A and B are shown apart, each in its own frame.
Chain A
Amino acid sequence: MEPLHVVSAIFVFGGTFFMVVGSVGLIRLPDFYARLHAAGKPDTLGEILIVLGLILYEPLSFLSVKLFFLSFFILVANPTATHAVAMAAYKRGLVPWRKKQE
């Protein structure tokens, strides 16, 4: 058990936590737009944390470089896809859910 492996495990668990929160939010949140928040974004941080943990787990090699580029591409691609889906819904005229005003 090396100390670096403990740090890496913490990162991977943190990433998994945000992934699970995203899935829970997908079920709990009320409407399409709110669910889009849960579907798209905690995944970005969760994925980066998991990749960071994997980079720390292995000694520095070509795999680490590939994983680093992978997180960079997800950082660019994820918001673009989320925006595309949200724009499609908005242009179709989907009305967002509002909290009832008492």
Chain B
Amino acid sequence: MEEKAGMNIRPILTFKFFLLFAFWVLLSMWALDHNYPGQFNALHIVQGLIASAIVVYLLRDLILHGEKLHMKFLRAIPYVFWELWQIILANIDVAYRVLHPKMPIDPLIIEFYVPYKGDMTKTWLANSITLTPGTITVLVEGNRFIVHALDKSFADPLLIDQTMQKKLMHVFMEGEYDSTS
């Protein structure tokens, strides 16, 4: 992704810093029970501040980067639930195929192209494909995706319907959903 201006990156970095620090405080101070009291003292807070600063610096253009983040975040929530539902459905299908005595599988490698511009969108698509049982993202080169599928029925949604690709286009506001340009 290209940098638009230096001025609108600083609030995002600050937000990331406080998010990470809040997570640190959450993990370190909250007591599990009376046997394991939380650690909330100067040493742990300073450690947390240093660790958050290092992580924010190292990942300054990786996580939460880009425009209209709140919109993307809101649109990602229904997508995540849809993806979880797909995972459950596909897992049951794979379990049936694995446990079936004749094992009705026919592995194949498929190849398709996506019109995405952003790296984040490709990462999400690759991870979603791998999470859905029956398909593994083998290679991503530019806009070309090489996917190994356990059976033709797992490959068809990616090749013909392309529901996942369209939903991610909606989430990340690319193509026809692009309202930034």
Complex interface bits, A50-78 against B, C-beta within 8 A gives 1, otherwise 0: 00000000000111011000000001101
Cβ of B128: which chain A residues have Cβ within 8 Å of it? 79
Cβ of A30: which chain B residues have Cβ within 8 Å of it? 107
Check if A5 is an interface residue, CB within 8 A of chain B.
no
Complex interface bits, A40-55 against B, C-beta within 8 A gives 1, otherwise 0: 1110110000000000
Cβ of A75: which chain B residues have Cβ within 8 Å of it? 131
Question: Can you name the residue of chain A whose Cβ is closest to the Cβ of B126?
Answer: A83
Question: Can you name the residue of chain B whose Cβ is closest to the Cβ of A95?
Answer: B109
CA distance A63 to B150 in the complex (A): 37
Query: Contact size class for A?
Result: 35 or more
Our pick among B99, B106, B146 for the contact of A90 (Cβ within 8 Å) is B146
Q: Are B139 and A87 in contact (CB under 8 A)?
A: yes
Question: Can you name the residue of chain A whose Cβ is closest to the Cβ of B100?
Answer: A28
Q: Are A41 and B131 in contact (CB under 8 A)?
A: yes
Q: Are B138 and A38 in contact (CB under 8 A)?
A: no
Our pick among B33, B88, B106, B146 for the contact of A99 (Cβ within 8 Å) is B106
Our pick among A65, A76, A79, A87 for the contact of B138 (Cβ within 8 Å) is A87
Cβ of A36: which chain B residues have Cβ within 8 Å of it? 136, 148
Q: Are B98 and A24 in contact (CB under 8 A)?
A: yes
Cβ of B150: which chain A residues have Cβ within 8 Å of it? 34, 37
Shortest Cβ distance from residue B111 to the other chain A in the assembled complex, whole angstroms:
12
Our pick among B88, B99, B131, B132 for the contact of A78 (Cβ within 8 Å) is B131
Q: Are A21 and B99 in contact (CB under 8 A)?
A: yes
Cβ of B95: which chain A residues have Cβ within 8 Å of it? 17-18, 21, 42
CA distance A30 to B105 in the complex (A): 10
Q: Are B31 and A25 in contact (CB under 8 A)?
A: no
Cβ of A28: which chain B residues have Cβ within 8 Å of it? 98, 103
CA distance A40 to B146 in the complex (A): 18
Check if B108 is an interface residue, CB within 8 A of chain A.
yes
Cβ of B148: which chain A residues have Cβ within 8 Å of it? 33, 36, 86, 96
Q: Are A79 and B94 in contact (CB under 8 A)?
A: no
Q: Are A98 and B108 in contact (CB under 8 A)?
A: yes
Check if A29 is an interface residue, CB within 8 A of chain B.
yes
Our pick among A33, A37, A66 for the contact of B133 (Cβ within 8 Å) is A37
**Which residues on B are within 8 Å of A, measured CB to CB?**
26-27, 30-33, 87-88, 91, 94-95, 98-99, 103, 105-109, 126-128, 130-134, 136-139, 146, 148, 150
Residue contacts A-B, CB under 8 angstroms, 10 given: A18-B91, A18-B95, A25-B98, A28-B98, A40-B130, A45-B87, A45-B88, A45-B91, A62-B31, A78-B131
